[in-house]
Structure 1
Amino acid sequence: MTNPTEGRRWLPHTTGRSALTCRFRCGNACAHEVANTSGNAYFCDVVEEALSRRGVLRAGVLGALVAGTARACADPVPAAEHEAGAPADGGLSFEPVPPNTEDALRVPDGYRSSVVVRWGDPVLPGAPAFDFDDQSAEAQGKQFGYNCDFVTMFPMGRDRALLWVNHEYTAESLMFRGYTNGTSATEEQIRIAMAAHGGSVVEIERAGATGRWQLVTKGARRYNRRITAHTPMRFSGPAAGGDLLRTAADPEGVRPVGMLNNCAGGTTPWGTVLTAEENIDQYFVNGRKVPEAQRSYIARYTIPSGVPADSRRFDRVDERFDLAKHPNEANRFGWIVEIDPFDPGSTPVKRTALGRFKHEAANTTLSRDGRLVVYMGDDSRHEYVYKYVSNDRYIQGFDRHNRTLLDEGTLYAARFTGPAGEWIRLVSGDRSYVEGMSAVEVLVHTRVAADRAGATKMDRPEDVERNPVTGGVYVALTNNTRRTPAEVDAANPRAANKHGHVLEIVERDGDAAATSFAWSLPLVCGDPKDPATYFAGYDKSKVSPISCPDNLAFDRDGNLWISTDGNALGANDGLFVMPVRGEERGHLRQFLSVPVGAETCGPMVTEDQLSVFVAVQHPGEVSGATPDRPASRWPDDRQPRPSVAVVWHEGGERIGS
Structure 2
Amino acid sequence: MRKFLPLISSPHPGGRAALTCRYRCGDACFHEVPNTSGNAYLGDVITESLSRRGILRAGAAATVIAAAGAGALSAAAPRAQTATRAAATAGTFAGGAARGLRFTPVAPNLIDAVVVPEGYEQGVVIRWGDPILRGAPAFDPDNQSAAAQAGQFGYNNDFLTLLPLAERGRQLLVANHEYTDEVLMFAGWDAANPTREQTETAWAAHGLSVVVVQEDRRSGALTAVTRHQLNRRITATSEFRLTGPAAGSDLLKTSADPTGTKVLGTLNNCAGGTTPWGTILSGEENFNQYFANAGAVLDPEHKARLARYGLAGAATERKWERFDDRFDVSKEPNEVNRFGWVVEVDPYDPDSVPVKHTALGRFKHEGANVRIAADGRVVAYSGDDERFDYLYKFVSSKRVKPGQSPAARRYNMTLLDEGTLYVAKFTGDSPAAEIDGSGKLPSDGEFDGSGEWIPLASGDTSFVEGMSAEEVYVYTRLAGDKVGATKMDRPEDVEPSPRTGKVYVALTNNTKRTATGATGVDEANPRPANKHGQVLELTEARGDATAERFAWRLFLVAGDPNDPTTYFAGFPKDKVSPISCPDNVTFDVHGNLWISTDGNQLGSHDGLFGVAVTGRYEGQVKQFLTVPHGAETCGPVVQERRVLVSVQHPGEIDGATTENPASTWPDGPGTMPRPSIACVWRADGAPIGS
Q: Settle same-fold status: TM greater than 0.5.
A: yes
Q: Which letter maps to 2:512?
A: R
Q: Is the 8 A contact 2:45 2:529 kept in 1?
A: no
Q: Which letter maps to 2:333?
A: P
* Alignment partner of 1:161 is 2:171: yes
Q: Deviations over 1:402-461 (max 9, x none)?
A: 222111010100100121001110010100000000000000000000111111000000
Matches of 2:159 and 2:356, distance apart in 1:
17
Matches of 2:410 and 2:110, distance apart in 1:
50
SS in 1 for 2:374: coil
Q: Is the 8 A contact 1:284 1:304 kept in 2?
A: no
SS in 1 for 2:368: strand
Given candidates 297, 309, 319, the residue that maps to 2:305 is 297
Matches of residues 193-592 of structure 1 in structure 2 within 5 Å?
193-217=202-226, 221-290=228-297, 291-308=299-316, 311-397=317-403, 398-418=408-428, 419-483=449-513, 487=517, 494-592=527-625
Q: How far did residue 91 of structure 1 move?
A: 4.2
Matches of 2:244 and 2:306, distance apart in 1:
22
Q: How far did residue 209 of structure 1 move?
A: 2.7
Give 2:664's aligned residue.
633
Matches of 1:25 and 1:284, distance apart in 2:
14
SS in 2 for 1:15: helix
Structure 1 residues 8, 110: closer, same or farther in 2, change over 3 A?
closer
Matches of 1:299 and 1:6, distance apart in 2:
36
Matches of 2:412 and 2:117, distance apart in 1:
42
Matches of 1:5 and 1:198, distance apart in 2:
30
Given candidates 124, 132, 136, the residue that maps to 1:127 is 136
Q: Is the 8 A contact 1:12 1:622 kept in 2?
A: no
Given candidates 625, 628, 649, the residue that maps to 1:595 is 628
Q: Is the 8 A contact 1:321 1:329 kept in 2?
A: yes
Give 1:650's aligned residue.
683
Q: Is the 8 A contact 1:107 1:592 kept in 2?
A: yes
Matches of 1:594 and 1:292, distance apart in 2:
45
SS in 2 for 1:416: strand
Q: How far did residue 484 of structure 1 move?
A: 5.7
* Unpaired runs of at least 5, structure 2: 47-96, 429-448
Give 2:42's aligned residue.
43
User: Which moved further from structure 2: 647-656 or 236-245?
Assistant: 647-656
Give 2:59's aligned residue.
none
Matches of 1:12 and 1:599, distance apart in 2:
17
Matches of 2:555 and 2:650, distance apart in 1:
30
Q: How far did residue 229 of structure 1 move?
A: 0.5
Give 2:436's aligned residue.
none
Matches of 1:654 and 1:6, distance apart in 2:
38
Structure 1 residues 45, 263: closer, same or farther in 2, change over 3 A?
closer
Give 2:80's aligned residue.
none
Q: How far did residue 178 of structure 1 move?
A: 2.5
Structure 1 residues 133, 44: closer, same or farther in 2, change over 3 A?
closer
Matches of 1:46 and 1:26, distance apart in 2:
22
Structure 1 residues 641, 91: closer, same or farther in 2, change over 3 A?
closer
TM-score (norm 2): 0.86
TM-score (norm 1): 0.90
Structure 1 residues 643, 329: closer, same or farther in 2, change over 3 A?
same
Q: Is the 8 A contact 2:112 2:627 kept in 1?
A: yes
Structure 1 residues 590, 437: closer, same or farther in 2, change over 3 A?
same
Q: How far did residue 144 of structure 1 move?
A: 0.6
Q: Is the 8 A contact 2:44 2:489 kept in 1?
A: no
Q: Is the 8 A contact 2:278 2:409 kept in 1?
A: no
Q: Is the 8 A contact 1:89 1:581 kept in 2?
A: no
Q: Is the 8 A contact 1:523 1:535 kept in 2?
A: yes
Q: How far did residue 510 of structure 1 move?
A: 1.2
Q: Is the 8 A contact 2:128 2:154 kept in 1?
A: yes
Matches of 2:312 and 2:175, distance apart in 1:
28
Given candidates 105, 115, 121, the residue that maps to 2:114 is 105
Matches of 1:5 and 1:336, distance apart in 2:
39
SS in 2 for 1:389: strand
- Report sequence identity in percent: 60
Give 2:182's aligned residue.
172
Q: Deviations over 1:44-89 (max 9, x none)?
A: 5999xxxxxxxxxxxxxxxxxxxxxxxxxxxxxxxxxxxxxxxx94
Matches of 1:176 and 1:322, distance apart in 2:
24
Q: How far did residue 13 of structure 1 move?
A: 2.7
Q: How far did residue 7 of structure 1 move?
A: 6.6
Matches of 2:513 and 2:296, distance apart in 1:
30
Matches of 1:362 and 1:483, distance apart in 2:
26
Q: Over aligned residue pairs, what C-alpha RMSD do you find?
A: 1.9
Q: Is the 8 A contact 1:199 1:227 kept in 2?
A: yes
Give 1:30's aligned residue.
29
SS in 2 for 1:494: coil
Matches of 2:420 and 2:558, distance apart in 1:
33
Q: Is the 8 A contact 1:167 1:262 kept in 2?
A: yes
Q: Deviations over 1:188-236 (max 9, x none)?
A: 111111111001001101013321111114xx61011101110011100
Q: How far did residue 239 of structure 1 move?
A: 0.2
Q: Which letter maps to 1:561?
A: W
Q: Which letter maps to 1:170?
A: T
Q: How far did residue 349 of structure 1 move?
A: 0.4
Q: How far did residue 294 of structure 1 move?
A: 1.3
SS in 2 for 1:166: strand
Q: Which letter maps to 2:170?
A: R
Give 2:89's aligned residue.
none
Structure 1 residues 124, 400: closer, same or farther in 2, change over 3 A?
closer
SS in 1 for 2:574: helix
Q: Is the 8 A contact 1:195 1:228 kept in 2?
A: yes
Matches of 1:656 and 1:16, distance apart in 2:
30
Alignment coverage as a number of residue pairs? 609
Matches of 1:508 and 1:7, distance apart in 2:
51
Q: Which letter maps to 1:292?
A: P
Q: Deviations over 1:333-371 (max 9, x none)?
A: 000011110111111101100100000121010011110
Q: Which letter maps to 1:454?
A: G
Q: Deviations over 1:308-354 (max 9, x none)?
A: 4xx11111111110111100000000000111101111111011001
Matches of 2:332 and 2:315, distance apart in 1:
15
Matches of 1:252 and 1:20, distance apart in 2:
38
Q: How far did residue 292 of structure 1 move?
A: 3.3
Q: How far did residue 655 of structure 1 move?
A: 1.2
Q: Is the 8 A contact 2:6 2:662 kept in 1?
A: no
